[in-house]
A and B are shown apart, each in its own frame.
Chain A
Amino acid sequence: MESGKLGQNPCKDEVNTEISEIEEEPTIMTADATPATRDRRQPFLLARLFPFMRAHLGKYAGLFVLSIITALIGLLPPLFMQIAIDTFATAKDLAGIQTIILLMIMYGVLGGLIGFASTYLREYLGQKVVMDMRVKLYSHVNELSFSYFDNVRTGEVMARVMQDVAQLQMYMTMGVISLTSNLVTLAGVVAILFSWNPIIGSIFLIDIPFILVGMRSFSRRVAPANARIRKANGVISASIQDCLNGIREVKLYGREEFMLGVFDKWNDEYFNAVIDSNKQHALWMPYVPFIVSASSAIVMLVGGLLVVSSDYTPGLLIATIAYFTQLAAPLRMVTRFLGLHATAKAAGARIFDILDLQPAISDTPGAVWLDEVRGHVKYHGVSFHYHEGHDILKDITLDIPAGRVIAFVGPSGVGKTTLLHLLPRFYDVSSGEVTIDGRSIKSVTLESLRMNVGIVMQDTFLFDGSFADNIAFGKPYAAKEEIVRAASVARLNKFIESLPQKYNTMIGERGVFLSGGQAQRLALARVIITDPKILILDEPTANVDAVTDKEIMDAVRETMRGRTTLVIAHRLWTIQHADMIVLLKDGRIEAKGTHQELLGTSAFYREFFASQIQAEDGGQNKNHDETARSEGAGR
């Protein structure tokens, strides 16, 4: 009957399709970056979707047949009505009417069952395909390299994986399939009406251009408003997200009102855009029903005249009117499909934009598994830039013997982190080569490379969960003892064990329940447990006090004995025991050697650590009277 309801299964993927979508890169405080048009030409959306549907072709075919049958059954009631009125009622044939009733009930039950099967099948296919697509997209996103993520927002990627895919689901199920069944219904109605009476049939046909023209102008006019809605939505959620992420700063600086002001601007814009869009909706949405009703009034007129003047029967007229009443739903669906197609095309374009991206860094053909690593790392004339023309590292050549502790020091932003990020291939060198045990890191698989190179990153990122979950992040089936051992290397076990729930204590989203030093030590434990052959520590103890720091560094040295450890630090005491200290300056190696050697050979080194060395003298002279504040007062 009302096949319009078919499309309203609230079971469809429950991802909000509009809100919290981030299309452009909105800025939080000004949020006026001009939108980049991302709607590339995607002429063959269905062709691109086909691979996802191929696995289920049989089911699609079944669904196709079922929908057509459903549509055909839907055509029956007016037909029965016509027969009942014209044949049996005129002939006063009660038995005939009873037959009709029985037939109708039968068809009704049959239609119900088939409807059940097709609804189920349709949802099955929709959910399945969307799941496949999501999994594919998600794993593809996971393959992409750091440089991709440097330039997108989490929210944006999220919107691709969750919302855009959901859009496609709607398109592929409700869209494609109910489009067929609705077209069948329409065609069936046209055929029946024409066979009954060509004039009446043509009245119906005349409707179609009216409807199409109306819908076209509707979608043309509503598009800009909808784009504005989308954008406002994106900016609103992005600014809320940004604000919540920085809530501490917002509160400290008392910027709540300010944030609210940014929000207000876009909340207003959203409101205006919705109102503008509604102007079109309000005008054009009741337009289709109006056309249908208006033409049914005309049918009444013409049909009435025909009944009076020809052999056109009242039964035919009544059935015709019934068809017209029934038509509103399929027509609405078809027009809605047009809108859906536009959205799906845009969503598809965004999805395939990502799927078409080749990860900047992946295994080279013929890459082999890196094993039996001794840890001899070598940089051969390595240069690197993030942006063309801004070289961060310039022709770095460095030989790091296996099994040593090497420290990297240098001014902020000189490129220490960058240099070490080249080793696990987070980024690839712009020129030059990095080798491990004489093998180019590009000749081995990424997986094996990263398995051997453990890194504690400068920016600590923790996952929601317990201490145990976080420590075992890279080694999910780690035994309890391993977890405890890793925690004790990071000097975290005492603290954890002092908590009522011990290792099962939740650390909060991103570790919000931890102090700075605790978070950092947890990140260290997380890497220690994976037992890497080469360990990179990027300021691993910046937020830890000296005593704990010393204990940690001793413990790390103990565990890493015989393996290569590369450590970046700004504190002299963290690195002074290193076998070699590499001092970077202006993207080049300024000097290298042990602490003592550098003190002797490098003026920049002395200057660089001046305050710490000077203070150090203060420390040594602790028994002398003038220490205390003198270090500071003197400056």
Chain B
Amino acid sequence: MHGMGGGHGGHGGHGMGGGGGMGFRRRLQEDRKTAKISEIKRKDLKFIVPHVMRQKWRVLLAITLTLSISATSIVAPWLSKLLVDDYIVRADLMGIVLVSMLMLGMHATNWSLHYIQSRNTVGLAQRVIKDVRRDVYKKILALSLRFNTERKKGELLSLVTNNVAVLSDAFSSGIVNVFTDIVTLVGVLVAMSMLDVELTAISLVIAPLILLTVLALRGRIRAAFIEVRRKIAMLTARVEENIAGIRVVKAMRVEGRKNQDFMDMSMVNFRTSMKATLLFAAMFALVSINSFLVFALIIGFGGTRYIEGSVTLGDLVAFFQYIIMFLRPIQDLVSTYNTFQEAAAALLHIAEYMRYPIDVPEPAPAERVSLPTPVRGRIELNDVTFRYGSEPLFEGLNLAIEPGEKLGVVGETGAGKTTLINLITRLYDVIGGSVSIDGVDVRKLPSQEFRRQFAVVSQNVVIFSDSAKNNIRFGRPGASDEEVVEAARLANAHAFIEQMPEGYNTMLSERGYNLSGGQKQLIAYARLLLARPAIAILDEATSNIDSYTEDLIQKNMGAVLKQCTTIVIAHRFATLHAVDRLVLMDKGRIADTGTHRELYGRNAYYRQLYDTQYARM
């Protein structure tokens, strides 16, 4: 038993996608069903090899230690043979003391070797795993928003945590254990045949029996376990969603049904587990019966041979110890096998993600262009085509926004306003045409530099579970406390933050549940003001704010963002009174553009939109 750090025996919510017509996800699922060690190709190892290579000295040390540990283990029974045959039987007291002391020393050596080995392998594995985990997370972060919205969050989380942990298990104990097992098996075999070939042969008759039992059941056991895991992952995903949405569950008083659902799923889960258990228990019983058989045979044949005088008592003593050493890895075969299959699945799973092409890529060094400074903030969409799924949304869309212009975007819900923002900020790449900032195609800009130009208040404000202060500071991590407070003041958020129990240090809860709807947006405003962008984008940023407060903010904003190119999406015309120009979107088209007066004069839909708001009874 090699000491193993932390014992984070992790498997679990490999989130399984339910439905969702994403080809990639479906492929991944199948992969996990059929993943076999033999399927691992060179390319799958690409993400891990460099990290292992960096630890090559540790790898060498591990190999050396394994050999020494196996050697000391194998010598021990031989010593007992010596002891029995040469000294006890001959009543050589000195010899008995000597050999026993030798054995004691041997065990002590073995202990220290194990210590070094464990430190070494865990150090090796953890270093590799730490790097891999970082790489995986980094890759997920680098992948586009499209990727991130189409994938289940639970699945991504478990990719970084669970899958890597499974891999880490295989690494820190599995590989070394198996290597040790193999070396020991070979060594033991050699030692046994040196003791007595016939007895060895007899034990070997049974060993394949055990092996066969294990091999016969292994496929079904594996399938059963995969099923168990799938069920648990589904259960986990369900629970997670229900707890996150508990307020809706309670408001709609569906707790009862949710409980029933949970019970049903648990029941299915239970049955699946029991099916797997049945197989496992059966296999375990067969293996144990077989081991008894081996012992019986050894006692029988060994005893007979001892009576005949062709083996010594010492031989038998050593033999029994060897047999135990020999059977153990074979008995462990199933769990070893499982560990490795699982690790193989995890590895393939990770590899698949690591290979996944980044669909909003950084520009190649050769094409990289920097924005001309100072950034002026001219935005141009040129003949843009875009779709999320198969339905086309934008086709040949053109729009130019001048530096410093304040542009309002209005239109029916679902018209594509947010999508327009998604393209300008390059959360998604256009399918045809181009988006450019100050004349540079956004695809040629390094993302860090590009993003620095923007600050956005999204339609769904995101609140991180962190202090109010840090939530605002997200806009510019380097900002001082004073700057944070100043931004909050401008956004009209200062007053209510001050009133919270711990002021700026108050923890905001998940999704901002301890704030009012408007307050969340005010926080997001403060974030934007702190960022001091060249281009500011407000997507329904005041939808939950009263127009009185909105007025106050707008006055402050006007001063701060005077130079900024500003895009304001709003349904409430009061929000749009300060814009220079309006764009009316309709079903993915720019239906019209112009000042309020122009649009009002010539566009019937605009007129309707406007009048509805101000029609009087």
> Is A216's beta carbon under 8 Å from chain B?
no
Cβ contact of A97, chosen from B84, B161, B299, B519, cutoff 8 A = B299
CB contact under 8 A between A157 and B134, given known A308-B96, A516-B459, A619-B614: no
Whether A151 and B509, one on each chain, are in contact in the complex, defined by CB atoms closer than 8 angstroms, is: yes
CB contact under 8 A between A10 and B296, given known A252-B458, A545-B410: no
> Is B68's beta carbon under 8 Å from chain A?
no
CB contact under 8 A between A628 and B596, given known A16-B13, A29-B473, A251-B145: yes
Q: How far is the CB of A315 from chain B (nearest CB, A)?
A: 8
A633: chain B residues at CB < 8 Å are 578
Whether A29 and B470, one on each chain, are in contact in the complex, defined by CB atoms closer than 8 angstroms, is: yes
> Is A561's beta carbon under 8 Å from chain B?
no
Whether A112 and B245, one on each chain, are in contact in the complex, defined by CB atoms closer than 8 angstroms, is: no
> Is A438's beta carbon under 8 Å from chain B?
no
Q: Would you give 6 A-B contacts (Cβ < 8 Å), ordered by A?
A: A2-B331, A153-B465, A248-B145, A282-B116, A390-B499, A546-B613
A141: chain B residues at CB < 8 Å are 243, 246
Q: Please, how many residues of chain B have a CB less than 8 angstroms from a CB on the other chain?
A: 227
CA distance A297 to B79 in the complex (A): 10
CA distance A85 to B611 in the complex (A): 106
Whether A249 and B10, one on each chain, are in contact in the complex, defined by CB atoms closer than 8 angstroms, is: no
Whether B509 and A515, one on each chain, are in contact in the complex, defined by CB atoms closer than 8 angstroms, is: no
Q: Which of A389-437 contact B (CB under 8 A)?
A: 390, 409-413, 415-418, 424, 426
Q: How far is the CB of A245 from chain B (nearest CB, A)?
A: 7
> Is B572's beta carbon under 8 Å from chain A?
yes
Q: How far is the CB of B75 from chain A (nearest CB, A)?
A: 12
CB contact under 8 A between A411 and B546, given known A253-B455, A308-B91: yes
> Is B531's beta carbon under 8 Å from chain A?
yes
B273: chain A residues at CB < 8 Å are 11, 13, 123, 127
Of all chain B residues, which has the CB nearest A274?
Answer: B5
Whether A134 and B251, one on each chain, are in contact in the complex, defined by CB atoms closer than 8 angstroms, is: no
> Is A289's beta carbon under 8 Å from chain B?
yes
- In the complex, the 4 A-B pairs of residues with the closest C-beta atoms, listed nearest first: A108-B292, A517-B413, A412-B518, A254-B451
> Is A345's beta carbon under 8 Å from chain B?
no
14 extra interface residue pairs, beta carbon distance < 8 Å, beyond A6-B284, A244-B140: A11-B225, A14-B229, A16-B8, A18-B7, A108-B291, A111-B289, A142-B258, A263-B134, A277-B5, A281-B122, A285-B118, A290-B111, A318-B313, A509-B149
Q: How far is the CB of B52 from chain A (nearest CB, A)?
A: 16
A109: chain B residues at CB < 8 Å are 289, 292
CB contact under 8 A between A610 and B571, given known A545-B412, A573-B614: no
Whether B477 and A258, one on each chain, are in contact in the complex, defined by CB atoms closer than 8 angstroms, is: yes
B391: chain A residues at CB < 8 Å are 499-500
Whether A461 and B153, one on each chain, are in contact in the complex, defined by CB atoms closer than 8 angstroms, is: no
CB contact under 8 A between A134 and B266, given known A5-B284, A29-B474: yes
B473: chain A residues at CB < 8 Å are 29
Q: How far is the CB of B404 from chain A (nearest CB, A)?
A: 16
> Is B3's beta carbon under 8 Å from chain A?
yes
Whether A85 and B5, one on each chain, are in contact in the complex, defined by CB atoms closer than 8 angstroms, is: no
Whether A238 and B465, one on each chain, are in contact in the complex, defined by CB atoms closer than 8 angstroms, is: yes
Whether B232 and A13, one on each chain, are in contact in the complex, defined by CB atoms closer than 8 angstroms, is: yes
Q: How far is the CB of A79 from chain B (nearest CB, A)?
A: 11
Write the A502-544 contact mask toward B (1 if CB under 8 angstroms, else 0). 0000101100110111100100001100100000001100111
Whether A304 and B100, one on each chain, are in contact in the complex, defined by CB atoms closer than 8 angstroms, is: yes
Write the A231-258 contact mask toward B (1 if CB under 8 angstroms, else 0). 0010011101111111111111111111
CB contact under 8 A between A237 and B157, given known A94-B304, A282-B118, A305-B96: yes
Whether A143 and B107, one on each chain, are in contact in the complex, defined by CB atoms closer than 8 angstroms, is: no
Q: How far is the CB of A35 from chain B (nearest CB, A)?
A: 14
Whether A149 and B246, one on each chain, are in contact in the complex, defined by CB atoms closer than 8 angstroms, is: yes
B140: chain A residues at CB < 8 Å are 244
Whether A249 and B250, one on each chain, are in contact in the complex, defined by CB atoms closer than 8 angstroms, is: no
> Is A119's beta carbon under 8 Å from chain B?
yes
CA distance A139 to B262 in the complex (A): 9
Whether A317 and B88, one on each chain, are in contact in the complex, defined by CB atoms closer than 8 angstroms, is: yes
> Is B244's beta carbon under 8 Å from chain A?
yes
CA distance A610 to B138 in the complex (A): 49
Write the B307-349 contact mask toward A (1 if CB under 8 angstroms, else 0). 1000001001100110010011001101100100000000000
Q: How far is the CB of B552 from chain A (nearest CB, A)?
A: 10
> Is B254's beta carbon under 8 Å from chain A?
yes
> Is B45's beta carbon under 8 Å from chain A?
no
Cβ contact of B522, chosen from A15, A332, A412, A447, cutoff 8 A = A412
Whether B612 and A97, one on each chain, are in contact in the complex, defined by CB atoms closer than 8 angstroms, is: no
Q: Please, how many residues of chain A have a CB less than 8 angstroms from a CB on the other chain?
A: 215
Of all chain B residues, which has the CB nearest A576?
Answer: B617
Whether A77 and B295, one on each chain, are in contact in the complex, defined by CB atoms closer than 8 angstroms, is: yes
Whether B285 and A18, one on each chain, are in contact in the complex, defined by CB atoms closer than 8 angstroms, is: no
Number of A-B contacts (CB under 8 A): 664
Q: How far is the CB of A563 from chain B (nearest CB, A)?
A: 17
> Is A555's beta carbon under 8 Å from chain B?
no
> Is B517's beta carbon under 8 Å from chain A?
yes
B194: chain A residues at CB < 8 Å are none
What secondary structure prevails in chain B residues at the interface with A? helix
Q: Which of A345-395 contact B (CB under 8 A)?
A: 386-387, 390
CA distance A550 to B614 in the complex (A): 11
Whether B134 and A547, one on each chain, are in contact in the complex, defined by CB atoms closer than 8 angstroms, is: no
CB contact under 8 A between A451 and B285, given known A285-B2, A573-B612: no
CB contact under 8 A between A20 and B545, given known A116-B285, A135-B263, A139-B255: no
Listed stretches A47-55, A187-195, A452-460; interface member:
A452-460
Of all chain A residues, which has the CB nearest B528?
Answer: A253
Write the A116-145 contact mask toward B (1 if CB under 8 angstroms, else 0). 100110011001100100110011011101
Listed stretches A56-64, A99-107, A176-184, A204-212; interface member:
A99-107
Whether B413 and A545, one on each chain, are in contact in the complex, defined by CB atoms closer than 8 angstroms, is: yes
Whether A458 and B544, one on each chain, are in contact in the complex, defined by CB atoms closer than 8 angstroms, is: yes
B481: chain A residues at CB < 8 Å are none
> Is B54's beta carbon under 8 Å from chain A?
no
Q: Which of A437-451 contact B (CB under 8 A)?
A: 446-447, 450-451
Q: Which of B482-519 contact A (CB under 8 A)?
A: 496, 499, 501, 507, 509-519
Whether B107 and A294, one on each chain, are in contact in the complex, defined by CB atoms closer than 8 angstroms, is: yes
Cβ contact of B614, chosen from A139, A308, A317, A616, cutoff 8 A = A616
> Is B597's beta carbon under 8 Å from chain A?
yes
> Is B57's beta carbon under 8 Å from chain A?
no
B165: chain A residues at CB < 8 Å are 16, 18-19
Q: How far is the CB of B203 from chain A (nearest CB, A)?
A: 14
A459: chain B residues at CB < 8 Å are 247, 511-513, 517
A602: chain B residues at CB < 8 Å are none
Cβ contact of B412, chosen from A13, A100, A277, A547, cutoff 8 A = A547
CA distance A577 to B122 in the complex (A): 70
A65: chain B residues at CB < 8 Å are none
> Is B405's beta carbon under 8 Å from chain A?
no
B510: chain A residues at CB < 8 Å are 153-154
Whether B255 and A10, one on each chain, are in contact in the complex, defined by CB atoms closer than 8 angstroms, is: no
> Is A589's beta carbon under 8 Å from chain B?
no
Write the B97-121 contact mask toward A (1 if CB under 8 angstroms, else 0). 1011101100110110011111100
CB contact under 8 A between A577 and B617, given known A105-B292, A451-B253, A611-B574: yes
Cβ contact of A89, chosen from B91, B291, B296, B306, cutoff 8 A = B306
> Is A224's beta carbon under 8 Å from chain B?
no
Whether B609 and A547, one on each chain, are in contact in the complex, defined by CB atoms closer than 8 angstroms, is: yes
A446: chain B residues at CB < 8 Å are 253
B291: chain A residues at CB < 8 Å are 1, 108
> Is B80's beta carbon under 8 Å from chain A?
yes
Listed stretches B33-41, B125-133, B371-379; interface member:
B125-133
B259: chain A residues at CB < 8 Å are 135, 138-139, 142
CA distance A628 to B311 in the complex (A): 110
CA distance A463 to B240 in the complex (A): 11
B157: chain A residues at CB < 8 Å are 20, 237, 240-241, 244
Whether A158 and B243, one on each chain, are in contact in the complex, defined by CB atoms closer than 8 angstroms, is: yes
CB contact under 8 A between A154 and B243, given known A127-B270, A135-B266, A162-B236: yes
Of all chain A residues, which has the CB nearest B248?
Answer: A461
